Structure 1
Amino acid sequence: MTRVWLAAACAAVLAPFVAPIDNAQAQGFPSRPVTMVVPLGPGGSTDVIARVVAEGMRATLGQPVIVENTTGAGGTVGVGRVARAAPDGYTFGIGHSGTNVVNGAIYPLQYDLIADFEPIGLISTQPFFIVARKTMPAKNLAELVTWIKENPGKVTEGTSGVGTPSHISGVLLQNTLGVKWTMVPYRGAGQSMQDLIAGNTDIQLDTPATSMPHIQSGLIKVYAVTNKERLKVAPDVPTTDEAGLPGFYYTFWHALWAPKGTPKEAVDKLNAALKAALADPTTRKKLEDLAQVIFPPDQQTPAALGAYQKAEVDKWWPIVKAAGIKPE
């Protein structure tokens, strides 16, 4: 009887220490700050969107959302950081159609972009501006196209890295114009924009989030938006249709993913926090001021992101492989 009593007493004392520490539900997820990994450098649209969304998610989660920039190889390093993270909900990542779709057709990845992640939810989509250094002699898009065609082999375009939307859209523009030029990869749009401002590169396809402050200050020139309609935040910028490049459209989207095996409760709580942030008037305005088109609530679910990402893989992988885009 004494032995039985001792065993029971020891079990009672040890019970708190043998509880499953990796069980998000047992810990009351989240019980501490969570980390959102940004696979591109500071200053670009992915980084800016991440910080807006992270702040918006804080209230619902009741914990800080720490933004961590992990850069390199067109975003593959940061996405890999998420893939290898403990699947407990405390580390998740933001990505886009380049980092979480196109890169699978370009890089020899050590992870599967679909099988090794748990979708959390879609955020928003956005177009590009076609911009150039402020010393560019072209006064409009038609003149810019002429200048490009008259300077084959001399034109340089900054990108956020091989396979990123800025790179893919640049390749599509090359194909449209029938001209090739030098692509200069950076670790993010913030860095490539600084070189454009400095006049070290000639042109760039960049997001309104990154470009608008520099357009407004006169540091770079803008020629068109790659969209069917003008942007409310930049009503004076013509569409590509209006500017003389009809049918040249390009938009890309952002979303959140967690490592494969993250408990459903943690994914659901992260999704609820994302949806609450995207419904919040303050967060919405910040994103809309960055020319973001927020996905409707029924497309903000994990299932919707999973289906959307798979459809994008089916669409873009053949195009990218046919273009022969390789890591540099």
Structure 2
Amino acid sequence: MQRRSLTTFLLLPALAAVCLPFAVHAQAFPERPIKLIVPYAPGGSADIAARLVTAEWAKALGGDMFIENRAGAGGNLGVDVVAKAPADGYTIGLQTVSLAINPALFARMPFDTRKDLAPIGMVASSQHVLVVNNGFPARNVAELIAKVKTSPGKYSYGSAGAGSTFHMAAELFKATAGVSILHVPYRGGGPALVDTIAGQVDMSFPVLSAALPQVEGGKLRALGVTGGKRSSLMPDVPTIAEAGLPNYLFETWFMAFAPAGTPPAVVEKLNAALNKAMATPAVRDRMVKEGFDPTPSTPAAARAKLEQEMPVWAKLVKERGITGE
């Protein structure tokens, strides 16, 4: 016991020498502006979510933060930039549920989602909505399923591209309902909505906030939202589950993350500031008005969410034969 105590005593200075720089770094952090990389073009849901929290997040940290959009490869390009950045907390990212989906979609990934990233925390979730053009012969989800089953492959849906959340929401719907609907991928959600309105495709599963103006303007008909509860933005539109497909649930979530190896104290500081920002009434109100539900969490809870969903999407992707662009 004496020998063990002596060894521990002798090691204490060495341990302190290792830990002290990290503690000092965390106390001083941030000493310069933080870059928040959004792996999509400006105007998309991830970009909007990032811009809703960035100012208050920076304020809570006592520093500056700016957004850099690095679109490409279904979001993988921007995430890879973060994965390969110095692990000091000054380059971080914000990605959608594609963080859990893409490893199954792409045969080759430039990074290892589990090993190369350190989740900071959840930011928000957002629903999609099943919309049809005004000429489509169904007034609700149950009627749509019945109609599609009578003519497998006759009807089509538009998505924002192969592997997009539009695409995954629709494929989950098809798998749950046991129906065949032709996938027509577009380069972005905007063109998919335009062609849905025009009748070039029969339906789509856009993010709720993107579809809202078209639904309110009478250009599209909303049959059901994809989440577990009705949206305050469309209170009269039922969930798809309550409208005829009980086991269906799809939500896009948004997660902030840093490179693996970022000092835990820095990750915790980023997390605490993020949660503080989302707790401010102004930020919460703006998020809700844009169709987001704030979902603050710990870094551990964010990692658990990622680990929980990766095998779920891997199973769907394999069963449906889905590949990314």
Q: TM-score w.r.t. structure 2 length?
A: 0.81
Q: CA deviation at 1:325?
A: 1.5
Equivalent of residue 312 in structure 1, options 291, 309, 313: 309
Is structure 2 residue 303 aligned with structure 1 residue 302? Answer: no
Could you tell me how far apart the structure 2 residues matched to 1:242 and 1:26 are? 48
Q: CA deviation at 1:257?
A: 0.6
Is structure 2 residue 180 aligned with structure 1 residue 183? Answer: no
Could you tell me how far apart the structure 1 residues matched to 2:184 and 2:23 are? 46
Q: Confirm or deny: 8 A CA contact 1:167 1:183 kept in the other structure.
A: no
User: Matched residue pairs, number?
Assistant: 302
Is structure 2 residue 37 aligned with structure 1 residue 37? Answer: yes
Q: Confirm or deny: 8 A CA contact 1:33 1:90 kept in the other structure.
A: yes
Q: Which residue of 2 aligns with 1:270?
A: 270
Could you tell me how far apart the structure 2 residues matched to 1:58 and 1:80 are? 23
Could you tell me how far apart the structure 1 residues matched to 2:116 and 2:199 are? 41
* Worse overlay, 263-272 or 117-126: 263-272
Q: CA deviation at 1:197?
A: 4.7
Q: Which residue of 1 aligns with 2:230?
A: 230
Task: Give the aligned CA root-mean-square deviation in angstroms.
Answer: 2.8
Q: Closer, same or farther in 2 for the Cα pair 1:178/1:265, shift >3 Å?
A: same
Q: Which residue of 2 aligns with 1:103?
A: 102
Q: Which residue of 1 aligns with 2:16?
A: none
Unaligned runs of 5+ in 1: 1-21
Could you tell me how far apart the structure 1 residues matched to 2:236 and 2:160 are? 26
Superposed, 1:66-105 pairs within 5 Å as: 66-97=66-97, 99-105=98-104
Give the aligned residue type for 2:101.
V
Give the aligned residue type for 1:129.
V
Q: TM-score w.r.t. structure 1 length?
A: 0.81
Q: CA deviation at 1:290?
A: 3.2
Could you tell me how far apart the structure 1 residues matched to 2:289 and 2:311 are? 31
Q: Provide Cα deviations, 1:86-110, integer angstroms capped at 9, x if missing partner.
A: 322222111122x211111121102
Could you tell me how far apart the structure 1 residues matched to 2:197 and 2:42 are? 16
Is structure 2 residue 211 aligned with structure 1 residue 211? Answer: yes
Q: Closer, same or farther in 2 for the Cα pair 1:56/1:206, shift >3 Å?
A: farther
Could you tell me how far apart the structure 1 residues matched to 2:273 and 2:90 are? 13
Superposed, 1:1-328 pairs within 5 Å as: 25=25, 28-97=28-97, 99-107=98-106, 108-149=108-149, 152-175=152-175, 176-186=177-187, 188-190=188-190, 192-197=192-197, 200-295=200-295, 300-328=297-325
Q: Closer, same or farther in 2 for the Cα pair 1:59/1:214, shift >3 Å?
A: farther
Q: Which residue of 2 aligns with 1:17?
A: none
* Worse overlay, 64-73 or 300-309: 64-73
Q: Which residue of 1 aligns with 2:9?
A: none
Q: CA deviation at 1:228?
A: 4.1
Q: Confirm or deny: 8 A CA contact 2:172 2:316 kept in the other structure.
A: no
| SS of residue matched to 1:230 | coil
| SS of residue matched to 2:272 | helix
Q: Closer, same or farther in 2 for the Cα pair 1:56/1:203, shift >3 Å?
A: farther
* Worse overlay, 86-95 or 318-327: 318-327
| SS of residue matched to 1:282 | helix
Q: Which residue of 1 aligns with 2:12?
A: none
Could you tell me how far apart the structure 1 residues matched to 2:57 and 2:247 are? 37
Q: Percent identity?
A: 36
| SS of residue matched to 2:310 | helix
Could you tell me how far apart the structure 1 residues matched to 2:193 and 2:47 are? 14
Q: CA deviation at 1:235?
A: 0.9
Q: Provide Cα deviations, 1:241-262, integer angstroms capped at 9, x if missing partner.
A: 4433333222232110111222
| SS of residue matched to 1:92 | strand
Q: Closer, same or farther in 2 for the Cα pair 1:216/1:65, shift >3 Å?
A: farther
Q: Provide Cα deviations, 1:285-327, integer angstroms capped at 9, x if missing partner.
A: 12222343333x5xx1111111221122233323322322123
Give the aligned residue type for 1:102.
I
